[in-house]
Amino acid sequence: MSEETAPAMLVILRHAPHDSSWLREGLDVALVAAAFGQRVTLLFLGDGVEALRPGQSAGALGQKGTHPTLDMLAMYDIEDIRVDRDSLERRGLTPDALGWTAAPVDVESLPALIAGSAAVFNF
């Protein structure tokens, strides 16, 4: 299989920034996988879509948040970024309103995205 057609590793991010370390730790897995030469697809789902909301900042105590990491994804060759359309709608968000470019995934194509990946990390 060529590099283009080989299935990517899918990292699903389902937790909001700041609340917990899940989002950061999930992103860390994605960055390390990419650094190890894996093709990586990121999927923001559930509360994870809050990570894409514009206007985030560091925490009051100086907690870094995850928005600086999202700015670095291209440097790690993580270009395939998807977002669950249903999760956006539940939160009053649209793809155009996000702070980062993410391709919306409809409910019809969600199972195939997960089944077709080389591995799935669900954070």
Partner 1 sequence: MQNAPLRYAVVVQGGPYSHQAAHSALRFARAVIAAGHRLQTVFFYHDGVYNASRLAAPPQDEPQLREGWQALASEHGCELLVCIAAALRRGLIDEGEAARHGKPAHSLEAPFVLTGLGQLVQAAVDHDRLVTFSP
Partner 2 sequence: MLLHLLNRSPASSQVPQDALRAMGAHDRLLLIESAVYGAVAPQADLYAALEGRCFALREDLVSRGLVEHCAPWIAMVDMAEFVDLTAQTQRTVSWY
- State the number of binding residues for partner 1 (CB under 8 A): 15
- CB-count burial class (<10 Å; 0-12, 13-18, 19+) for 78: buried
Q: Which of 56, 76, 86, 104 binds partner 2 (CB under 8 A)?
A: 86
Identify whether the C-beta of residue 24 lies closer than 8 Å to the C-beta of residue 43: no
29 binds partner 1 (CB under 8 A): yes
80 binds partner 1 (CB under 8 A): no
Question: What are the C-alpha distances in Å from 70 to residues 4, 17, 99, 109?
Answer: 23, 11, 10, 24
25 contact choice in partner 1, partner 2, none (CB below 5 to 8 Å, kind-dependent): partner 1
93 binds partner 2 (CB under 8 A): no
| Cα gap 29→51, rounded to integer Å | 16
Q: Which of 28, 65, 80, 86 binds partner 1 (CB under 8 A)?
A: 28
Residues 6+ apart with CB under 8 A from 53: 93, 98, 99
State the nearest-atom distance from the C-beta of 74 to partner 2, in Å.
26
User: Under the rule (CB under 8 A), what is the footprint of partner 1?
Assistant: 9, 21-22, 25, 28-29, 32-33, 35-36, 38, 118-119, 121-122
